[in-house]
Amino acid sequence: MTSDRQDGNTKPVDAVYDISQPRFWERNSLDREFDRVFDICHQCRRCFDLCPSFDFMFKTIDKKGEDASVLGAVDIKQVLDYCYQCKLCYNHCPYTPPHQWALDFPRLMLRAKAVEVKERGRVTLQDKALGKTDAIGKTGSLFAPLSNLANRNRFGRLIMEKVLGIHRDRNLLEFHRESFSKWFKKRTRRQDEATRENGEVAIFHTCTVEYNGPQIGRAAVEVLEHNKVGVSCPEQKCCGIPFLDGGDIESTIESAAFNVKQLAEEIRAGKDIVVPGPTCSYMIKKEYPELLGTDEARLVAERTYDLCEYLVKKAREGKLDRTFKKKPGKVAYQAACHLRAQNIGFKSRDLMKAAGAEVELIERCSAMDGTWGFKKEYYQLSMKVARPLFEKVESCSADYTVSDCPLSGLQIEQGTGCKVLHPIQIVHMAYGLDEKRNEED
């Protein structure tokens, strides 16, 4: 293993994950960090069954030799390509900071992607296309429902696979003509009914809620206002994680800086930030401070909550309405990886149970994790990795299948045929707000 050593202990290489430092971008430094981390992982093997990256790494080392030094450039590239950034290995690892070895396998993979893009001089067409979620969402919504028909057309999907590398059999998110933000702007908000008695929040709606699941955003707003929490919807961009997954650091930072500026203004106005998607809340909480390194980014991270995390916080403060009109029944709830990675507990499960649901918790990865499960190279593998999740969902015989993550929901629907809801929709239903909306409509 090539690494810095002191007093017989392996020490992390300085500045290896700080994008502002020249060493971050140096291939030699990256290769040394590969050696250091892979060797520790190989000796530990605690993550042997977490994802294809570790499985491939350990089997290849065992086949070729005795330690990580036997891994060649092609092998390391395979380890990198098999990582879909679920983040679970970080919490599973006993050597993460503040341990002196300071392992951060997901960040090593992100660094490697960024260096790869820098050396190549460009982001691949596939990653560039998958990263432009705002542009895709705006175009898809503008032409909905024709865009949805086009996405189901077999000939069109073959072209999409050939040009953009999106597997022909991957089911895609539906577009809605009216985006969430359009609905929010035009709705008649009765501030006398939805007072700010219990606080104010700004909703970071996420791209998938904005263009593909506006009903989730509507449910979130109505539940918050039902609990006397005022809601605003500031201007925002994609959180940037699709860019980050593709190694496009420059575009990621641009999105992060824009969002931090907007969200910080909301916080200075006395509001918290709530996010109905775990990947985006993870990005704002964990990645923005690392990418930007500013006090403003840290402020935004500290005041950002996953949507259900925020509502459970209100419950603990005695500010959640517990007058639920109907019990939702049995729920099969998949705890999304990026929510588990936040180490906040199972707040969505707790909220649904408080609303009267019988919840069966499923801690199984969907193997979608951003753009990875869309790619033709990994579609079949993503379905294979998700098989235990599918089997668990099918064995639950639940009234509703639920996940906080829309892409996990997409994968579950593909593998089981079950329609997947967001936890806030279960709570919305329990309050009887769906009936109230129907009456108003």
The yes-or-no verdict on residue 318 having pLDDT over 60 is: yes
Percent of the chain with pLDDT over 90: 88
**What ranges in 197-277 are assigned the alpha helix state H?**
207, 214-226, 241-245, 249-268
State whether 83 and 146 are in the same domain.
no
State whether 252 and 223 are in the same domain.
yes
C-alpha distances out from residue 225 to 34, 48, 216, Å: 49, 45, 14
Can you tell me the distance from the alpha carbon of 203 to that of 221, in angstroms, rounded to the nearest whole number?
Answer: 8
Residue 323 domain flag: no
State whether 303 and 351 are in the same domain.
no
Does 65 or 71 have the greater pLDDT score?
71
Percent of the chain with pLDDT over 70: 93
| Mean pLDDT, residues 123-152 | 93
Residue 173 domain flag: no
Can you tell me the distance from the alpha carbon of 334 to that of 337, in angstroms, rounded to the nearest whole number?
Answer: 9
Residue 171 domain flag: no
Residue 249 domain flag: yes
The pTM of this model reads 0.92
C-alpha distances out from residue 74 to 60, 275, 291, 407, 411, Å: 11, 39, 28, 30, 29
Band of pLDDT at residue 436, cut at 50, 70 and 90? low
Residue from 227, 251, 228 nearest 240 by CA: 251
The Cβ of residue 388 has, within 10 Å, a number of other Cβ atoms equal to 12
Instruction: Supply the mean pLDDT for the chain.
Output: 92
Amino acid 10: pLDDT? 42
CATH code at 417?
Answer: 3.40.50
Which amino acid type is present at position 350?
A: D
Residue 137 domain flag: yes
Q: What is the pLDDT of residues 247-294, one digit of tens each?
A: 999 999 999 999 999 999 999 999 999 999 999 999 999 999 999 999
Residue 322 domain flag: no
State whether 275 and 361 are in the same domain.
no
State whether 110 and 22 are in the same domain.
yes
The yes-or-no verdict on residue 434 having pLDDT over 90 is: no
State whether 224 and 338 are in the same domain.
no
Q: What is the pLDDT of residues 351-377, one digit of tens each?
A: 999 999 999 999 999 999 778 999 999
Band of pLDDT at residue 435, cut at 50, 70 and 90? confident
Amino acid 440: pLDDT? 52
State whether 104 and 223 are in the same domain.
no
Q: Can you give the residue range of the structural domain that contains 141?
A: 125-164
Tokens representing residue 264 in the block: 């910080």
State whether 160 and 190 are in the same domain.
no
The yes-or-no verdict on residue 83 having pLDDT over 80 is: yes
The yes-or-no verdict on residue 438 having pLDDT over 70 is: no
Can you tell me the distance from the alpha carbon of 380 to that of 114, in angstroms, rounded to the nearest whole number?
Answer: 26
State whether 243 and 264 are in the same domain.
yes
Amino acid 15: pLDDT? 61
Amino acid 291: pLDDT? 94
* Tokens 């800086």 found at: 257
Band of pLDDT at residue 244, cut at 50, 70 and 90? very high
Residue 89 domain flag: yes
C-alpha distances out from residue 30 to 100, 113, 184, 214, 383, Å: 19, 11, 46, 42, 31
Buried b (16+ CB within 10 A) or exposed e, 395-409: ebebebbbbbbbbbb
State whether 229 and 247 are in the same domain.
yes
State whether 108 and 204 are in the same domain.
no
Q: What is the pLDDT of residues 178-230, one digit of tens each?
A: 999 999 998 866 555 557 899 999 999 999 999 999 999 999 999 999 999 99
Does 66 or 236 have the greater pLDDT score?
236
Q: How many domains does the chain have?
A: 4
**Domain edge (last residue) among 262, 291, 316:** 316
CATH code at 222?
Answer: 1.20.1050
Residue 41's region, left for phi above 0, alpha for psi from -120 to 50, else beta, is alpha
Residue from 145, 148, 230, 238 nearest 194 by CA: 230
Residues 6+ apart with CB under 8 A from 256: 239, 240, 283, 287, 288, 291, 292, 297
Residue 45 domain flag: yes
State whether 360 and 307 are in the same domain.
no
Amino acid 13: pLDDT? 42
The yes-or-no verdict on residue 427 having pLDDT over 60 is: yes
